[in-house]
Amino acid sequence: MADAEGLNPSGGKPPCGFESRPGHVEKALGDARVASGHPSQDRVRTARPFNDRCHTRHVFSRRAVPRRRRSGNSRRLHFRMHSMTHSRWAVLDEAVSRPVRGDVVYTIAAAVVIERSRDEVRGAVLDALNRQRPFHWVSDRGPVVRQRMIDCLIGLEVQCVGTHSDHVSVSDQEHVRRDLLTSTLLPELRAAGVDSLILEGRSNKDRYDKATFARFRADSNDVRWSYTWADKSEPLLWLADAAAGALFEYVAKGNDRWWSQLDVAGLAVLKSEGPDG
């Protein structure tokens, strides 16, 4: 969980023409693939130049799919049916601002991984940061380490799906989290074929998530959904922390430096509240 600070209500659209640079992530990903026994897949897809009318998206597909930008910077996950047999799993985290006159900006994001094992991704993350100490967006404020995590998301082609709610009362955070999960994020992930989710443990608050997932599974009549909790020492959670932190910087502080790189790479999906997002 990221407890971010400093708000700027005036947001902005990600700039055009930005091109991200995976850099050292290429070697980290290659080492992880060799270790996992898949050296033939040793390659990293770099971002393509952004066009203000349409952009390249490779969401859940090896082939690029040009899509026109939806209004309000909100997009749906588009994926090809032929790839539905591949494994999809996600990690989830939140970012919450400091209270301003009793209200906070609440952001929650999922990092969706396709066609890669957890061991492979875990090794790539550790190699990219070159450390064992857990990554935390708030405490790791330096641009170098943050850029490494953004590059890692891009290099691994991790789809970052997020949503947020403004002017949330501190006492209503759990209700907002439940509503954003059940009405927006979980339906989006389920439609994209994600059936396994890892969340950061929140001690005694985990029982609220258990109730939320149980209700969602019952309402969707989908028994495939599995979920588990891990602590911050799990490198897989660092991907979700970076995604949630980048989104928070964009929607709450007007800083699109990080989220725009994911957007240019076709890996950023910002959803509005509600099932029609």
Q: pLDDT tens across 111-161, in order?
A: 999 989 999 999 999 999 999 899 999 999 899 999 999 999 999 999 999
| Residue 128 to residues 12, 110, 112, 121, 166, Cα–Cα distance (Å) | 29, 20, 18, 10, 33
Least confident residue range of 83-87, 104-108, 155-159, 168-172: 83-87
217 pLDDT band, cuts 50/70/90, is confident
The rounded percent of the chain whose pLDDT value lies above 70 is 67
What's this model's pTM, rounded to 2 decimal places?
Answer: 0.71
At residue 81 the predicted structure's pLDDT band, cuts being 50, 70 and 90, is: very low
Between β-strands 67-68 and 226-230, what pairing exists: parallel, antiparallel or unpaired?
A: unpaired
CA distance linking residue 178 with residue 108, whole number of Å: 11
What pLDDT sits at residue 163?
Answer: 96
Longest pairwise C-alpha distance within the chain: 55
Which neighbouring-strand residues pair with 96?
A: 3, 106
Looking at residue 37, its pLDDT comes to: 52
CATH code of the domain made up of 2-43+85-271: 3.30.420
Backbone dihedral region of 46: left (phi > 0), alpha (psi from -120 to 50 degrees) or beta? beta
Beta carbons of 107 and 247 less than 8 angstroms apart: yes
User: Taking 50 as the threshold, does the pLDDT of residue 188 lie above it?
Assistant: yes
pLDDT band at 274 (very low <50, low <70, confident <90, very high): low
Rounded to whole angstroms, the Cα distance separating 101 from 119 reads 44
Is residue 85 scored above 60 in pLDDT?
Answer: no
The mean-pLDDT minimum among 71-75, 83-87, 250-254 falls in 71-75
Q: Where are the alpha helices (DSSP H) in the chain?
A: 25-36, 118-129, 143-155, 173-180, 186-191, 206-220, 235-253, 259-264
